[in-house]
Structure formats: structure tokens, C-alpha cells
Amino acid sequence: MDLMKQIKNIAIIAHVDHGKTTLVDQLLRQSGTFRANEHVEERAMDSNDIERERGITILAKNTAIDYKDYRINILDTPGHADFGGEVERIMRMVDGVLLVVDAFEGCMPQTRFVLKKALEQDLTPLVVVNKIDRPGARPEEVVDEVLDLFIELGANDEQIEFPVIYASALNGTANTEPDQNVDNMQALFETIVDYIPSPRVDANQPLQFQVSLLDYNDYVGRIGIGRVFHGTIRNGSQVSLVRNDGSLVEFRITKLFGFKGLKRIEIDSASAGDIVAVAGKEDINVSETICELGQNMPLPELHIDEPTLQMRFLTNTSPFAGREGKFITARKIEERLFAETQTDVSLRVEKTEVPDEWEVSGRGELHLSILIETMRREGFELQVSKPQVILREINGEICEPVEYVQIDVPEEYVGNVIEALGTRRGELQQMGATNQGQMRLVFHVYSRGLIGFSTEFLTLTKGYGMISHNFLEYRPKLREDVGGRRAGVLVSMENGKATAYSIMGLEDRGTIFIEPGTEVYEGMIVGENNRENDLAVNVVKAKQLTNMRTANKDNTVVLKRPRVFSLEQSLEYLDEDEYCEVTPESIRLRKKILDKNTREKANKKRKNENESE
């Protein structure tokens, strides 16, 4: 058999939590890639702690398995809209996609997004209806939904003739019929081999290798991962790199890696069609082409989605700065932020006019919050400002991003959701019942109207609603404010430890965020006010001790449970004049100006300026 026919390059694409990573697990196990006595974690492709805890894939991963005479290169892609940039670049590395769809949930917004990208690249699709063992599964109806989506997205006749595999990735089973009993994934392997085309390449042409993903290693520096489109790439060879700006630079390949299971293995050479990793150029970038010397033929540039959200990152200036973190200086934070841009091409980091402050732009709140969470786990202390959407000038007009939002909720909450998104300038596009007895609502909402909406949405739907959204387009900027927090906050006016006595006295004023014994400082946010204005409060006041016996002396003090914010919820909650202080052990909300009198003067000045405009 011709060597080129033995390679199959596929990407696994799906909406978040439809079972891509678990499916890859089973393919790895059942292909005999692991030794019989080798211990392998569940969801082995999700390699970092945050991915494991949240059950989501953040970075695209690649692996390779051998099945019969075939080398199957598999790319596991993120399902969340914030990491869509990873998905797009991967489409150029593969010849086919496994579209995984939940047998209960059916097609979701991200299913539409990833399938659209795959069809635009003219890739061969194979549909896997996963979780067929789930209660309420409706595999046949889901296949009809998928077919409707293909037609809606303009798939050609060949793409519409997709094969369907019915699988339970959790149980490691797959078959061509939904009700057949099998105990392996043989049918999926065979369908990949029979249906996904081999790379259409020529090993005799001059070398062309394009970088699609980046990795970083302390020993060899930046690593470019991509596909060999033509020719042969060899370790130790001198090659030329065609930059994105058209310039040329020569370098020697110091390491060449192939993939086998979860391991990266050193190899001497790789032929056209294979997916490999190249080291030797410290500043290699996504979309750049490696060619043979004197044969400089760059491949078409890869599209990288522009960031839509930005935040200010600052050194920690609170009274508690330096207590909990290992890395607290501006130099350390700057090094870490710029190091992140080495591997995450959707991230932008720029210095600002203010020392010790950086503007960090990303694809969404989750994208940025995972960077912050990673940094705090590494021992960093920092402060961040409220997320802001990035405006763009299009045809001389200032425009802002708009999102496609899909919501599934029980019928009794529909009115609440429509009203809440109406106040955030959401436009209802579709409404109808789903097969699961829920109502499905589709909105177009300005991105800044969605900042802070997730927490409100959970409250509105009592946790029963599901919301998914991804970037739709840029539209002319709205003049009025959209979204944002309506309630004011309770701000500590003293330093010290919060007491049960003072918290009990404040419970009627709003919702408390802290427990008795929590150390607070002046300017720290300790709760939410029932009204729209901010209120300075004393949470460290202790009860006066006297010799007088009171009637309610023996009553037990029962305090309400404080509202505890996750990192994402904290970022969503922030207002313009506030920071989120992040340390390895704590997440605190605070006012930018800590002193009460100075803050009130600044607020009055800002209010007067707004009125004069």
C-alpha cells in the first residue's frame, strides 16, 4: 500500500460537553496504544488541572493512534466559543471531521459554529451521535436535526451523504445502528478508515510545512505544530521560514517530534500528510511556512480570530498586597503575560501609559478568567478591572460585537428571560418548543449586554436554564449603556476583622459577601446594597460589653449564608470604579479609590462631567 494512503488526519469537533475528549480516550485505549499495565487517567487528553476540574477542553491537543495499517492523527478541539480560534486553525491540518452530537441535547450553537468552519474548508464529515445510553436519548431525531443544519449551512451533495455512528463514549461502544449491542468501537475505526480521505499530497514536491498551533518547552523553546503539506521534513536540516509579513529567515531544525498516543516522540523525518512538531526557531509563529532553501512558496495565511474583550491587569496595590503571593512585582507579571502570548495566539498583551498596568485582550470572559486562574495557581498576585468589549472602526463607523445566543429553559421562565434580555437590548429571533419539553429562544445580543448576565440568568431560571453564545458580527455602537450592574455595593469603611454582631446589623441593608472573622480593609466590597447607591458600612464593630443583663442575651445569633463568588462571577460583577484583587488564596472585590471621602469627591466630579455632556 502507498504510504500516503496510510495516514488519516481528523479533527473531533462538537459543542462543549458533548463527549469529544471521552471519545478520544476510548479510541486511544481500544487501538492498543497503551500497554496493558499502563495507568491512564480518565479524559487523558485534558492535561491541565483547570481542564480536569471544569470538564472542558481549553487547548487543542493532538495525538496519533495506529489501527491496522493506518496512522490516524486525531486533533481534539475545544467546544467553548471562547476558544474557537483553536478550532479554525486546526481545520487546515485535517482532511475530515468527526462531528460529535449529544443524543439528548442535539444541535447546539457551538455545533453550528464548528460545522460551519469545517464545511467552509470542504472537509469530509462523519457524524457521531454520542451518549445514546443517556435517559431521554433520541438518536434518530438528532440525526434529522444534524441533516437540517447541514442543509442550512449550505453543505454540498457529497457532504450531506455523511455516515452516522451511534456511540456511547463512556461505555466504549459504537455501531452503525442505534439499537445494536456491541462492546467495542470497531465500527468507528472502520468508518474512519473507509470514509475519511487520505491526504492529497506529493512527497516529491519541495517541502511546505505550515504552523497551526504553538507549544512551549523550557529546553527547546517555542515549538511549532502543523502539517507537512508537501515534501519531506528532516531533523537537523537547514530550512527557510516565510514570515507572515513576507520576509525570509533561515534556521536549522534542532528537534523534530511525531506523536504516538499521549507522547511526543523524536523522529528523524516526516513525509507529506503527517502532523509533526518542529523546534529550532525561538520566534516561530502561527501561519508561517517552512520551506526548502531557495524554494520559498508560502501557504495561504491562516485566519486568527481577533479578540473581542479586554481587561486591565495591574500589580496588587491593596493593603493586603504581598501577603499570599510568590510573584507580586510588575516585572514578574509582565514576563508571565508575554510568555502566555507565546502559545496563545488569540491573546494580546500591550503596555499602557500607566506603569505597572497592561491591557490584555482575549476572546471572552472565560478565555481571560482561565488565564487569571492559571496565574493565581502559579503564585501570582494581581488586580484586574471590569471586562470591556473591543470597539472597531468599520467603514468610518464605530462598531461593537454582537453575539448569537441560544437559550433552553422550562416554559415558566420564558417571560423572565425575555424581559431580562430586553433590558440588555437583546433582539428575539426565534422561539419554539424543543423535543425535551423545553422552550428554545434565540437572541442577537450586544456583547457588553451579556457581561454579567450568566449569574442573573441562573437566578432567573433557578438553575434550570441552559445558555450558549458565540460571536456573530460587528454592528454600529449603541449610544446608551447596555447591561451592567444595577445594585450598589456595601463598602467597608474600616480595617480589621468582620464581626458577627456588625454583620447581623447589616443584613437588612442587602446581601453580605463575607463571614465573621474575615479580614477586611477600607474600600473593600463586603456586600450588595438593596438600593442603587453605594453605602459605606462598618463591619468590624464589636458589641459593647456591659454588666447589664439583656432580655435576649441567650438567643443564638443565626446569620444568613454569605454569597460566595467564583472568579468568573467576580469579574462579571465588577463595575467601572472597581477592581478584582486575585491572590493564590483569595478573591476580593474592592473600589479603585479606597478612601471614602476621596472616592465620593471623584464620583461627584464624574457625575457632573456626565451631566454636562
pLDDT digits (tens, 9 = 90+) for 205-215: 888 999 888 87
Half-sphere exposure of 566 (CA within 13 A, CB side): 11
61 is an annotated ligand-binding site residue: no
Does 76 belong to an annotated binding site?
no
Was 267 annotated as part of a binding site? no
Please tell me whether 148 is known to bind a ligand: no
| DSSP per residue, 265-333 | EE-SEEETT-EEEEES-TT--TT-EEEETT---PPPPPP-PPP-EEEEEE---STTTTSS-SB-SHHHH
Residue 19 in marked binding region? yes
Q: How many CB atoms lie within 10 A of CB 472?
A: 16
Which of 73, 14, 9, 78 lies closest to 50, judged by CA? Answer: 78
The answer to whether 25 is annotated as binding is no
Q: Is the Cβ–Cβ distance between 519 and 497 less than 8 Å? A: yes
Residues 410 and 439 sit within 8 Å (Cβ to Cβ): yes
In angstroms, the CA 583 to CA 519 distance is 14
CA-closest candidate to residue 4, choices 187, 168, 324, 227: 227
> Is 131 marked as binding a ligand?
yes
CA contacts within 13 A on the Cβ side of 301 = 9
Contact 403, 470 (CB under 8 A): yes
* Ligand-binding site membership of 462 (annotated): no
Q: How far apart are CA 145 and CA 449, in angstroms?
A: 30
Q: What is the pLDDT of residues 143-177, one digit of tens each?
A: 998 999 898 888 888 889 999 999 888 888 888 88
Strongest mean pLDDT among 72-86, 127-141, 443-457, 534-548: 127-141
Q: How far is CA 62 from CA 44, 234, 274, 554, in A?
A: 12, 20, 12, 65
Are 229 and 272 in contact by the 8 Å Cβ rule? The answer is yes
Is 39 among the annotated ligand-binding positions?
no
Domain annotation for the chain: domains and CATH numbers: 3-195 (3.40.50.300), 208-292 (2.40.30.10), 392-476 (3.30.70.240), 489-545+554-578+587-612 (2.40.50.250)
79 annotated to a ligand binding site: no
Q: Which residue pairs, CB below 8 angstroms and at least 24 apart, start in 179-183?
A: none
pLDDT band at 610 (very low <50, low <70, confident <90, very high): low
- pTM for the whole thing? 0.76
Q: What is the pLDDT of residues 352-380, one digit of tens each?
A: 998 899 999 987 787 888 889 889 999 99
Q: Nearest 5 degrees, angle CA 356-CA 338-CA 379?
A: 70
Mean pLDDT of 322-346: 87
